[in-house]
Amino acid sequence: MSGNSIEDGFDRKIAEMGIRIKDGNQLKVRDDVLDEITLLSLHRLAHKKWITAIGGSISTGKEANVFFAERESQDLAIKIYRIRTANFNAMSEYIVGDRRFSGIRKTRKDIVFAWTRKEFSNLTRAYEAGLPVPKPLVWDRNILVMEFLGCDERPFPQLRSVHPENAEEIYHGVLAFIRDLYQKAGLVHADLSEYNILMGDRMYVIDMGQAVTPDHPRALHFLVRDIGNVNRFFSQKCQVREEREIFTEVTGIPQKAKT
């Protein structure tokens, strides 16, 4: 199937749902995004008026595509996890051991559905704790609808793409996020890096699907990795703190207990 026929088919099906197409030339859809489950989910969300328009692609990640969308005059981001090509083995590492999602069948579809619900749950916990994450609105099967972080339909840039003069201030802000996420929201991000920190009117953290609760068997391992990633990035920009000191501040666990 050619790229044009894929896009034309998507446009036609979206229009049939009553969703307005914005910037059709920018709406690029891969064949592995377009399946019956995704179309059914979009239809349900459109029927409930969660989505009234869909625009261009914001990002294409390893597991999901993110598109700009609207709900009346509200700017949204819709994240569509690809059921056909998602690496559900990698996803399983973060779901297995999370008591919130025990009993999930280990089929690709079930893992992707659980992952979407997990990201919605994690975002909700972080947002309700007052942390700088996009506000989650609704999820349906493999689609997550949330607040759009950007301006004029353009997303805020990733931290890796900006050259801030106040690097030390941002660094301490990221450490505060790690601490508050653990202490106030009861979560470890588990994949924090300069790729999922956005810089807009303030710092925002995205991509919360893999975040785990502190009782997850690998939570502390993930926390150590997050701290290491942050220090690695900022070490060329400002003075960084000792990783064990940060770990103890976040968890309250003495340095010698870190594994």
Residues 10 and 135 in one domain: yes
CA quadruple 75, 81, 87, 91: dihedral positive or negative?
Answer: positive
- Is the same domain home to 15 and 134? yes
The answer on 127 and 249 residing in a single domain is no
Q: Would you please indicate which residues are annotated as catalytic (active-site) residues?
A: 191, 207
The fraction of the chain above a pLDDT of 90, given in percent, is 62
Closest CA relative to residue 23, chosen from 62, 70, 60: 70
Burial category of 114 from C-beta neighbours within 10 Å (exposed 0-12, middle 13-18, buried 19 and up): buried
143 and 238 housed in the same domain = no
Does residue 3 surpass a pLDDT of 50?
Answer: no
Q: Which of 130, 177, 143 is nearest to 33 (CA)?
A: 143
Express each pLDDT in 156-165 by its tens digit.
999 999 988 8
With tokens 């999370």, the residue in question is 98
Same domain for 225 and 141: no
Q: Which domain holds residue 99?
A: 3-154
> Are 142 and 167 members of one domain?
no
What CATH number is associated with residue 162? 1.10.510.10
Do 204 and 249 belong to one domain?
yes
DSSP class of 63: S
Residue where a domain terminates, one of 119, 139, 154:
154
The CATH number assigned to the domain holding 73 equals 3.30.200.20
Does pLDDT of 203 surpass 80? yes
Better-scored residue on pLDDT, 109 or 256: 109
Domain boundary among 134, 154, 174: 154
Average pLDDT over residues 100-118: 84
**259 Cβ partners below 8 Å, 6+ apart?**
220, 221
Rounded to the nearest integer, the mean pLDDT of the chain is: 87
Is residue 55 within a helix (H) or strand (E), and if so which, with residue range?
A: strand 53-60
Are residues 7 and 129 both part of a single domain? yes
**pLDDT tens-place string over residues 58-76:** 988 888 999 999 998 899 9
**Judgement on whether residues 111 and 29 belong to the same structural domain of the protein:** yes
182 in the same domain as 165: yes
Reported as a pLDDT band with limits 50, 70 and 90, residue 29 is low
What is the reported pLDDT for 131? 98
Residue 112 and residue 199 in one domain: no
For 125, phi and psi rounded to 5 degrees?
-60, -45
Predicted confidence at residue 135, as pLDDT, reads 98
With contact defined as beta carbons under 8 Å apart, do 142 and 38 qualify?
A: yes
Q: Per-residue pLDDT averaged across 229-254, rounded?
A: 96
Residue 53 tokens, joined = 């328009």
pLDDT of residue 258: 44
Q: Taking the model in full, what pTM does it have? A: 0.87
Whole-angstrom distance, CA of residue 135 vs CA of residue 176: 19
DSSP, res 131: -
